[in-house]
Amino acid sequence: MLESKIESYLRQRVKDLGGIAYKFTSPGNSGVPDRLVLLPGNRTVFVELKAPGKKPTKLQLAQHRRIQALGHDVRVIDSREQVDAWLQEL
């Protein structure tokens, strides 16, 4: 499955829950997560989407650590099942 299909699925599932999944870009800061997810109940999560079995690059992992060091949640998701499991967890 393509990463774009998983990303579309995530966007729709978040919307169904009353949230927003902004496409996140930060000029001059390569490697930032793909989506900034805002959910009801004051829940904010950065989400890195990957094709099944693919892993984040070293640059992406460095950005994830930077964001996490500030106390924010970063998730790496590579399937529709992981989207569902993550949203269920919340």
Q: What is the per-residue pLDDT for 35? A: 97
Cβ contacts of 9 within 8 Å, gap of 6 or more: 80, 83
- Domain range holding 20? 3-89
CATH number at residue 82: 3.40.1350.10
- Extract the tokens encoding 90: 């919340």
**How many domains in the chain?**
1
Pairing of strands 35-39, 43-49: antiparallel
SS3 breakdown of the chain: % helix, strand, coil, rounded to 5? Answer: 40, 25, 35
The model carries a pTM of 0.93
| 7 band by pLDDT with thresholds 50, 70 and 90 | very high
Give tens-digit pLDDT for 24-79. 899 999 999 999 999 999 999 999 999 999 999 999 999 999 999 999 999 999 99
| 90 band by pLDDT with thresholds 50, 70 and 90 | confident
Percent of the chain with pLDDT over 90: 94
Give tens-digit pLDDT for 29-40. 999 999 999 999
